[in-house]
Structure 1
Amino acid sequence: MRETLVAAGWGALVTLVLSFVPFSSVIGGAVAADRDGGGYARGLWLGALAGVGAAVPLSVLFVPALAVAGLLGFGVAPSAPAYDLFLVLVGVFFLAYTVGLSAVGGLAGIWVGRHTDRSLDPSRWL
């Protein structure tokens, strides 16, 4: 269990560090799955777990940015009747993007580990 959490933590950390890069969640999920190994189902699970681990700190930055954007006139204004629906939809899309792409990255990480000689384990980079 500890190894699973460590691998997911590495994936979440890579996602956070590369968060300025589009699709960084895929890279984080791949790192988590390659670090742990296992089958494709385990890679999918580890990638999703890394995505959840990255989504929590990213949402701490994302929620205030969304509020400021609404106050500046981008998106839906906070006084609009559909603002609550807008927040729910944005939250669902944010989670689908972060967790979903990390899960896809987990599958990719298992594929890379099985079909190439490359290692995505960041502890080997140091």
Structure 2
Amino acid sequence: MPSPADSNVDDDASSNPADARSDATDTSPNPADARSNTDATSNTVLNAVIGAVVTVVLTFTAFSPILGGAVAGYLEKRDGLRVGAISGAIAALPILLFSLLSMTFLGLFALQAVGVFLLVLFVAFPLILLWVVGLSALGGVLGVYLAEEL
């Protein structure tokens, strides 16, 4: 027959459910956490693509990357710098491809214009990429700010 002291020890161990819960959660992963992390990633990419589409559609305005990044940040409602930068990187692809096609049709790939091509390739393209990604990141921060304030 167990002594009363032994039963108190058992009661102490069973009376603290936080200890029992922490042991259970430490040994087994929660599948809901993994699913929510995947959903957040897919929403981030989707919001960045929506922001990139806004940027490309509004390219005729001077600050379309800010507007596209703001849309992405507003939809994301958190981490605007990251979603805005992703949006800008996605939006820069069609802009750079259009520039490359324009150079092709203008004949800048001719042998006499190799210097101009290299200048555009190593100076203009990185500056365009920096401009679009930087302004989109700024727009993402502004979009998150607007989402929190409205």
Structure-2-length-normalised TM-score: 0.65
Counting matched residue pairs gives 108
Name the CA distance, whole Å, in 1 between partners of 2:114 and 2:56. 34
Match of 1:99 in 2: 133
| Structure 1 residue 5 corresponds to structure 2 residue 23 | no
Structure 1 residue 67: Cα displacement: 4.2
Letter in 2 for 1:97: W
Match of 2:115 among 66, 69, 82: 82
Moved over 2 A (4+): 66-71, 77-83
Q: CA 1:70–1:98 in structure 2 vs 1: closer, same or farther (change >3 Å)? A: farther
Unaligned runs of 5+ in 2: 1-40
Q: Which moved more, 1:60-69 or 1:6-15?
A: 60-69
Match of 1:61 in 2: 98
Q: CA 1:3–1:69 in structure 2 vs 1: closer, same or farther (change >3 Å)? A: same
Q: Aligned-residue CA RMSD in angstroms?
A: 1.9
The structure that has the greater radius of gyration is: 2
Q: Give CA-to-partner distance per residue, 1:36-64, whole Å, 9 cap, x none.
A: 111xxx10000000011111122221112
* More helix per residue: 2
Structure-1-length-normalised TM-score: 0.76
* Higher RCO (C-alpha 8 Å, min separation 6): 1
Contact 1:12–1:53 under 8 Å retained in 2: yes
Name the CA distance, whole Å, in 1 between partners of 2:148 and 2:136. 18
Match of 1:109 in 2: 143
Match of 2:70 in 1: 30
